[in-house]
Amino acid sequence: MLGARKQKPLSVIDDQEKQRRLEAASDAEASLRIEGLFISEKDKALSDKWINGEITDEEVEQIIESSR
């Protein structure tokens, strides 16, 4: 396929890392709610991809930076 980008293989995260990510995302969402803010569906989907190990920390940062 011309123009197709090869996606680098992701390292599999273990259950402990997945739980850590889930707790971090939940804490961040709770902090937003305390301030009267709510996470968008787009940001929730991004968070879910990160929690499930589908994207890396660096990729999350790049996506956030590019959307500013």
Q: How confident is the model over 38-58, as pLDDT tens digits?
A: 999 999 999 999 999 999 999
Q: Looking at the domain assignment, is residue 10 inside a domain?
A: no
Q: Looking at the domain assignment, is residue 2 inside a domain?
A: no
Can you give the residue range of the structural domain that contains 48?
Answer: 15-66
Q: Looking at the domain assignment, is residue 53 inside a domain?
A: yes
Instruction: Taking residues 26-47, report their average pLDDT.
Output: 96
Q: Is 46 exposed, middle or buried (0-12, 13-18, 19+ CB in 10 A)?
A: buried
Q: Looking at the domain assignment, is residue 46 inside a domain?
A: yes
The model's pTM:
0.77
Instruction: Taking residues 4-21, report their average pLDDT.
Output: 79
What are the structure tokens assigned to 49, written together? Answer: 């991809």
Q: Looking at the domain assignment, is residue 60 inside a domain?
A: yes
Q: Looking at the domain assignment, is residue 7 inside a domain?
A: no
Q: Looking at the domain assignment, is residue 5 inside a domain?
A: no
Is the separation of the CB atoms in 11 and 17 below 8 Å? no
Structurally, the chain folds into a number of domains equal to 1
Within 13 Å of residue 47, how many CA atoms lie on the same side as its CB? 17
User: For residue 26, what are the CA distances in angstroms to 35, 57, 66, 68?
Assistant: 14, 16, 23, 23
